[in-house]
Structure 1
Amino acid sequence: MRDTGNRRDLEDGIKRDFSKDMSYGDYLRLDLLLSAQQPQSDPPQHDELLFIVQHQTSELWLKLMVHELRSARDLLRGDDLAPALKRLARVKHIQHTLTDQWSVLATLTPSEYAQIRPFLATSSGFQSAQYREVEFLLGNKNADMVKVFAHDPAAHDELGTLLGEPSLYDEFLAFLARRGYAVPPALLERDWSQPYRLDPALVTVFAEVYASPAEHWGVYETCEELVDVEDAFQQWRFRHLQVVQRTIGHKTGTGGSSGVDFLRRALDLTFFPELYEVRTQIPQ
């Protein structure tokens, strides 16, 4: 065996000259991406880069989640269930990645965070437009949230549009109605800007699906995919709350909220209430 001096020689076919051809960095625009981390602390604080990277990568994952949820919603509108389920499966993996990321930020101790918090000024994750897009797409509509983005016309207009459009769940219910399921008509022609509220008659519809999964397999599978998405979202919310609590306790948030108490109230919000309520009607 030839001694290579503990190194791996480049193969002849590996491209080396990118003076005229696209490189990895060119394709990903790494010049822009890696220059976007601009710490504000003075004197510089070591841990600020962690805080920035954590939130910037989260925004990238949120961008992909919005992309997938929009596509899933459009596919349901077009009665194309199989690829819609594929999109939701990908969303779940994105959610798990976002939740796992909190463990990195959790390495930031209260003392370390205190060194960079003044430089955040009034900025807060509460002001993430893409996070609100995800919530609106899943059905947690709140017109007051749109007002937070009056300073950003593009985000304000996008959220305003989503506020008035059917959510992913709304499109699923319309899909069910077109398949002959007894979806209450009031759910098919409602004010989309209002938060969704549980309808007992729809619980009965889902009870029939869960009573005979084999006869309603596509719908049954979609119901469980949606429950998976909500479950993963709640895990993200809870992990967020935990990290905030261990870092700042019950201090007020940088964006002006009550902090942990405000985050805890989000745990009571639900996207797909009937899919949880139906579980109490399934015979044991």
Structure 2
Amino acid sequence: MSTERIVAEEGAQLDFSRDMSYGDYLHLEQVLSAQHPLSASHDEMLFIIQHQTSELWMKLLLHELQAAMACVRRDELSPAFKMLARVTRILEQLVSAWTVLSTMTPPEYSAMRPFLANSSGFQSAQYRCIEFALGNKNAAMLKPHAHRPELLARVEAAWRAPSLYDESLRLMARRGLAVPASHLERDWTRPYQADPGVEAAWLAVYRDPEHHWELYQLGEKLTDLEDAFRLWRFRHVTTVERIIGLKRGTGGTGGVSYLRKMLEVVLFPELWQLRTDL
């Protein structure tokens, strides 16, 4: 059966002159015209699209993560679970994206690197909001955004707010678990510090999952999320090392040395420690 006949039989309308089209809805003209390579390198298009699409995925990740945190604050865990599961799937997409970028070889990157100047993923405001929302707080990370007041305000708001884990612990306390008061009201701009009392609260949940089913599910959703986030970080390190070795990053960081330090950051420490202590 020909394509023309299939279209005719299905009654498809191919004249979109009077209605909003696919391209109109998605603003594809603006999206697809936003790639402006500065070098003559063929491979710069890959570099640009890799980072632009990653920023789009991060936009969706933040959309889901912020909504999930709002649900946790309202004790509405069922929709929060769906959103957190989606965050994990988005992280899987971001992990896969590094596989595409890893096809760029060192000579190919070296040909375009001088045109990047000091621009770096280190300066991504969305990534910093994700880190802060997941609890990796660091006041020094506000500085890269100081030249853009609107971005600084957004990043600083995430820095000052309770993280997803902070909200989860407050929920546990509302559900009757003995979470230490020091972890319910504190300076949210400070990095999270593990506490035996918090682990004891999680252990109570994991030792009686039927009684604490929603909190048990929350613990596993958080573990899934950090598992995927670790993979994203790891693939970032290996991709950067594969392409630039141990050179310094364009944003002024140590490059691979800095990224390796980030691998040591544990976001939800008690959820990992309890597996040893169960």
Report the TM range for the smaller structure's normalisation.
over 0.9
Query: Which residue of the other structure, out of 200, 206, 210, is the alignment partner of 2:206?
Result: 210
Where does residue 267 of structure 1 map in the other structure? 263
Q: Whole-Å Cα distance in 1 between the matches of residues 180 and 256 of structure 2?
A: 38
Cα shift at 1:11? 2.5
- Opposite residue 56 of structure 1, the aligned amino acid is Q
Compared with structure 1, are the counterparts of its residues 14 and 7 closer, same or farther at alpha carbon in structure 2 (3 Å cutoff)? closer
Which of the numbers 91, 94, 105 marks the counterpart of 1:95? Answer: 91
Deviation per CA, 1:52-105: give whole Å up to 9, x if none: 000000000000000000000000001101100110000011000000111100
Match of 2:36 among 20, 35, 38: 38
Q: Which amino acid aligns with 2:50?
A: Q
Give me the whole-angstrom Cα distance separating, in 1, the residues matched to 2:191 and 2:13: 54
Task: Tell me the residue number matched to 2:141.
Answer: 145
Q: What secondary structure sits across from 1:160 in the alignment?
A: helix
Report the Cα distance in structure 1 between the residues aligned to 2:123 and 2:239, rounded to whole angstroms: 18
Q: Deviations over 1:215-263 (max 9, x none)?
A: 2111111101101101110100000000011111101111111111110
CA distance in 2, matches of 1:146, 1:19: 47
SS at match of 2:150: helix
User: What is aligned with 1:11?
Assistant: 8
Within 2, Cα distance between the matches of 1:127 and 1:11? 51
Map Cα deviations across residues 10-69 of structure 1 (whole Å, 9 max, x no partner): 32622222222100000000011001001111xx21101000000000000000000000
User: How many angstroms apart in 2 are the aligned matches of 1:25 and 1:104?
Assistant: 26
Matched ranges for 1:77-226 at <5 A: 77-226=73-222
Report the Cα distance in structure 2 between the residues aligned to 1:137 and 1:253, rounded to whole angstroms: 25
The separation in 2 between residues aligned to 1:34 and 1:14, in whole angstroms, is 26
For 1:37, the aligned partner's letter is: Q
Counterpart residue identity of residue 192, structure 1? W
* C-alpha distance 10-209 of structure 1, shift in aligned 2 (>3 A): same
**Structure 2-normalised TM-score?**
0.97
One-letter amino acid matched to 1:22: M
State the SS of the aligned residue for 1:183: coil
> C-alpha separation between the residues in 1 aligned to 2:13 and 2:150?
41
Distance (Å, rounded) in 1 between the aligned partners of 2:218 and 2:8: 48
What is the match of residue 70 of structure 1?
66
Q: Distance in 2 between matches of 1:127 and 1:86?
A: 30
Instruction: Measure, in 1, the Cα distance between the counterparts of 2:5 and 2:55.
Output: 37
Tell me how many residue pairs correspond in the alignment.
277
Structure 1: runs of 5+ lacking an equivalent = none
Q: Aligned letter for 2:15?
A: D
**Offset of 1:9 from its aligned partner?**
4.9
Provide structure 2 residue ranges, at least 5 long, that are not aligned to the other structure.
Answer: none
Secondary structure of residue in 2 paired with 1:19: coil
Q: Which amino acid aligns with 2:175?
A: R
Question: Counterpart of 2:230 in structure 1: which amino acid?
Answer: Q
% same residue: 54
Distance 1:91 1:171 in 2: 17
The Cα shift of 1:270 comes to 1.4
Q: Output the CA distance in 1 between the equivalents of 2:204 and 2:174.
A: 17
How far apart are the structure 1 equivalents of 2:189 and 2:65? 18
